[in-house]
């Protein structure tokens, strides 16, 4: 299978350089033609690679693996959306996103333990309250970072904000064992049952109930966020601030409130992502969100920071790459995924859906 993928990759390189040398080189708008060719070849190449992999796996195995990995995909989408939301309003990347979400997950796990000992609630209400607690905790930490830390810092730039978030990671990593203890905690799934989906007489797929609920929660949160971005004053403020924070402030937009709410909402998305990720065969430790943090940054870079939809597509592609590569070679999964992302980013440095922005002075 990997040999076929290499032949596909080599053939696309040959087509690109042949057209570039024989035709585009003589054109005045050579960079434009090169970009258009890349925009055509990339989706064809991705679809061709997926087609080869699906043919080797069979459609049944591909669909079954995809359904079993829906929860991981939803977690990655939530974490990625939080990172992009902060970047759009604060023009910086939050390296503490995963660590802030971890604090929320620890809070949720401790709340479940407390409710189990002191109340007669059934498991589902306890887990629902714990998820709200995780989101609220991360929301408050996000607000704190923007309103207290950033606004009290002098001569703050985008790089300065990144350095602060990196320092915040170290602080939270040291505080979490003191607050929550050294032992790893666990969070139960909403349900350990599943649903059977019969496509044909011979093809029956299995979907865990936790994955279904995770997908419903993710779609609901994204729907509310996108509706708020489209139809509320806060959403208009986010778009204005993302375009030009200085001009937005001159036009009467409360940019401080916009950025504060964006940090809080991004934290809440991360808190829910951490809470949904914890029951997927892992435990709540200080570093259990590290892989999600890394992959969410990769998804943002792959999709492009200029839109919300691009990073979501990037998250979907990374999840597909990981699912397929783990089926063929579980040892080299990360290497294969990162190599594919590197190739795509080299072809599209601004991301698959990234666009150059020209600011008028």
User: Which tens digits make up the pLDDT trace of 272-283?
Assistant: 999 999 998 788
75 close to 276: Cβ distance less than 8 angstroms: yes
Does residue 312 have a pLDDT over 80?
A: yes
Give alpha helix (H) positions in the chain.
Answer: 2-22, 30-57, 59-68, 70-90, 97-118, 123-144, 158-180, 209-231, 233-243, 245-250, 255-277, 290-303, 309-328, 333-347
pLDDT (0 to 100) of residue 344: 86
Which of 222, 211, 279 lies closest to 67, judged by CA? Answer: 211
pLDDT at 101: 93
pLDDT of residue 283: 86
Task: Give the three-class secondary structure for 354.
Answer: coil
Residue 79 Cα distances to 99, 151, 221, 300, angstroms = 11, 24, 12, 10
The least confident of 57-71, 165-179, 276-290, 324-338 is: 324-338
Quote the mean pLDDT of the chain: 86
Nearest-CA neighbor of 44 among 88, 92, 72, 9?
Answer: 9
The residue that leads in pLDDT, 328 or 67, is 67
Q: With bands split at pLDDT 50, 70 and 90, how would you rate the model's confidence at 176?
A: very high
Burial of 148 (C-beta count, 10 Å sphere; 0-12/13-18/19+): exposed
Q: Assign 208 to helix, strand or coil.
A: strand
What confidence tier does 360 reach under pLDDT thresholds 50, 70, 90?
A: very low
Q: What is the mean pLDDT of residues 212-238?
A: 90
pLDDT over 70, % of the chain? 96
Band of the pLDDT at 2, cuts 50, 70, 90?
A: low
Residue 274 has what pLDDT?
93
Contact 161, 90 (CB under 8 A): yes
Largest CA distance in the chain: 77
* Residue 354: both structure tokens together: 């990234």
């Amino acid at each position: 299978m990997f040999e076929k993928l290499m032949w596909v990759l080599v053939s696309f390189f040959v087509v690109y350089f042949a057209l570039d040398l024989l035709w585009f080189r003589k054109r005045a708008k050579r960079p434009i033609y090169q970009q258009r060719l890349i925009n055509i070849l990339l989706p064809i190449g991705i679809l061709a690679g997926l087609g080869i992999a699906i043919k080797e796996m069979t459609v049944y195995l591909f669909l079954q693996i995809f359904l079993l990995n829906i929860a991981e995909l939803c977690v990655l989408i939530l974490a990625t959306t939080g990172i992009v939301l902060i970047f759009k309003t604060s023009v910086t990347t939050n390296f503490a996103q995963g660590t802030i979400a971890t604090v929320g997950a620890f809070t949720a796990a401790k709340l479940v333990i407390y409710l189990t000992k002191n109340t007669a609630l059934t498991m589902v209400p306890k887990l629902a309250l714990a998820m709200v607690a995780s989101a609220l905790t991360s929301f408050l930490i996000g607000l704190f970072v923007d309103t207290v830390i950033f606004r009290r810092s002098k001569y703050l730039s985008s790089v300065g904000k990144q350095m602060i978030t990196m320092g915040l990671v170290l602080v939270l990593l040291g505080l979490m064992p003191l607050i929550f203890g050294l032992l790893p905690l666990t969070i139960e799934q909403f349900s350990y049952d599943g649903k059977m989906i019969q496509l044909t007489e011979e093809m029956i797929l299995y979907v865990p109930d936790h994955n279904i609920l995770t997908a419903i929660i993710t779609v609901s949160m994204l729907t509310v966020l996108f509706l708020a971005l489209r139809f509320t004053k806060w959403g208009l403020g986010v778009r204005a601030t993302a375009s030009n924070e200085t001009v937005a402030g001159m036009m009467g937009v409360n940019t401080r409130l916009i950025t504060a709410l964006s940090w809080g909402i991004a934290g809440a998305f991360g808190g829910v992502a951490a809470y949904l990720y914890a029951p997927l065969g892992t435990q709540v430790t200080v570093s259990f969100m590290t892989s999600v943090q890394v992959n969410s940054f990769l998804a943002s870079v792959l999709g492009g920071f200029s839109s919300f939809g691009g990073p979501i597509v990037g998250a979907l592609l990374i999840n597909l790459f990981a699912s397929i590569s783990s089926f063929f070679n579980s040892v080299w999964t990360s290497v294969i995924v990162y190599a594919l992302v590197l190739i795509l980013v080299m072809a599209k440095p601004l991301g698959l859906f990234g666009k150059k922005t020209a600011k008028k002075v």
